[in-house]
A and B are shown apart, each in its own frame.
Chain A
Amino acid sequence: MTTRTVVVGSQVGLHARPAAKFTQAVQATGVPVRISLGAGEPVDAGSVLAVMTLGAGHGAEVTLHADDDAVLDSLAALVASDLDAA
């Protein structure tokens, strides 16, 4: 299991539409991915409700956990971007 730690780029945090876009991207990979906030317990990154209840605000540090480096890289870039801008 490898990880990427990244700072949340969306202005509203990883919530609402940004959370939905992130979760859809996770589901599209077909790979099990987990996400944790700070030193917290990792939760299913494919569950929008689990991601929203993390409470990861703008600028928060989250860690992505998966077995696939390419998937981690693309998801980390997504989290770092402003997902509410599009």
Chain B
Amino acid sequence: MGEQVIRGLGVSPGVVCAPWLRFGSQLATSAQDPVGGSVEDEMVRVKAALGGVADEMQARAGRVTGVAAEILSMSATMARDPGIVAATEKQLTDGMPTAHAVHLAFEGVCAKLEALGG
């Protein structure tokens, strides 16, 4: 393959370098979505969903080695992050619909990381 310039935010050098073909379709949530059950009940669902994502990433980490395994393992840790759980609970308490509450919790972290330079 000939030389190619790939533009973007470089992370984890040395693991893989390839053009990004596509993102999955974006899930849209909104503050106007129907609100679910009690905060307590919804938090059970949220933790189960985040745990499912974390479990899948951890399983993928088990199929590779080295830095790639560390990155997947860390992604799993982020999915279970107590800060996300706490921020989601706060959004639910403020009356946000469940999926949107999770979205806002992650967006809060994204905004902070962007402010630090990505």
Contact = CB atoms under 8 A, between A and B. Distances in A.
Interface stretch (A2-10, A47-55, A58-66): A47-55
A55 B118 CA distance: 11
Interface in A8-52: 16-17, 20, 23-24, 43-44, 46-50, 52
Contact of B77 (A24, A44, A53): A24
Contact of A47 (B70, B81, B112): B81
Contacts of A50: 81, 83
Nearest to B77: A48
A47 B116 contact: no
Q: Contact size class for A?
A: 10 to 19
Q: Is the interface of A mostly helix, strand, loop or mixed?
A: helix
Contact of B70 (A20, A43, A48): A20
Nearest to A48: B77
A40 B69 CA distance: 33
Given A53-B109, A53-B112, A55-B116, A44 B83 contact: yes
B51 to A, nearest CB: 15
Given A17-B74, A43-B83, 16 more contacts: A16-B74, A20-B70, A20-B73, A20-B74, A20-B77, A23-B77, A24-B77, A47-B81, A47-B83, A49-B84, A49-B109, A50-B81, A50-B83, A52-B113, A53-B113, A55-B116
11 contacts: A16-B74, A17-B70, A17-B74, A48-B77, A48-B81, A49-B78, A49-B81, A50-B83, A53-B112, A53-B116, A55-B116
